[in-house]
Amino acid sequence: MLTLAVDIAREAGEMLLAKRPPRPEVLATKSSPTDIVTALDKAAEELIRSRIAQARPGDAVLGEEGGDTPGEGAVRWVVDPIDGTVNFLYGLPDWAVSIGVEVDGEIVAGVVNNVPRGQLFTAEKGEGAWLDGERLSCNTGVPLDRALVATGFGYGADRRRVQAEVLAQVMPRIRDIRRSGSCAVDMCSVAAGRVDAYFERGTNYWDHAAGGLIAAEAGARVGGLRGWPVHPDLIMSAAPELFEELRDLLIPLDPDHD
């Protein structure tokens, strides 16, 4: 299934690069005027769904644009056709096709194709995380005050206001912040040691299904804020010792509320 996911993610990425106009048009908005959908989001998901249906017609699919399509067995594909749609719209280089494979409710394989950079991240449960044939390992032994931390922001004004207030308290306690605009890319950046940690409020399952497995298979801890598993209220990822330090910094700041 990982091989199939890789093939589909590559095909979708090639289609998106070939068909992306100089200025893609916004097709619709979702939760706010800044939460956008382009025609190519939908086209890419339709391509991915069709390829899955051809190869494995009994499997379920959960996609950002098309919702949840039930299947006949234990396998469900979790698809974000373009994670980082605003980057895609503006021609910025961090957007990705993300495909996770879930069996009996657990993600067991995942691929994140960072298309503009030509980088394909993969992971299989228990088999490690990989970037173009090189095994990945997250950074370890980094104290909080030396940590480069990735984060993202929500679409609603009220949520962004709270996130800015939290960030103002976090910034003096860490090395610096990075903002790629893609949850999937951020999780892979943790896996590859390009950042030390990541946290964000308001991500969806399709945003982190594949990237979360890639980070975990690279040695990172992936979870929620208050001892919870991954949750839309807040997702975190870092090496285990840094995860705990960042969590202890965040909890008093109450970052999981609007």
pLDDT tens track of the chain, all 258 residues? 999 999 999 999 999 999 998 878 787 777 777 666 788 999 999 999 999 999 999 999 999 999 999 999 999 999 999 999 999 999 999 999 999 999 999 999 999 999 999 999 999 999 999 998 899 999 999 999 999 999 999 988 999 999 999 999 999 999 999 999 999 999 999 999 999 999 999 999 999 999 999 999 999 999 999 888 888 889 999 999 999 999 999 999 999 888
83 included as an active-site residue: yes
- Exactly one of 64, 102, 124, 186 is catalytic; which is it? 64
Residues 6+ apart with CB under 8 A from 187: 112, 198, 208, 211, 212, 214, 215, 222, 237
Annotated catalytic residue within 52, 59, 85, 200: 85
Annotated binding site: 64, 80, 82-83, 207
Catalytic site residue from 41, 59, 80, 102: 80
Instruction: Report how far apart the first and last C-alpha atoms of the chain are (Å, whole number).
Output: 39
Quote the pLDDT of residue 36. 65
| CB-count burial class (<10 Å; 0-12, 13-18, 19+) for 168 | exposed
Q: State residue 23's pLDDT score.
A: 78
* Catalytic-residue membership of 254: no
| Residues 81/206, Cβ–Cβ less than 8 Å | no
Binding site for Mg(2+), by residue number, is 64, 80, 82-83, 207
Identify the CA nearest to 153 among candidates 29, 41, 78, 258.
258
Determine whether 82 is an active site residue.
Answer: yes
Residue from 52, 82, 99, 174 carrying the catalytic annotation: 82
Active site residue 64: yes
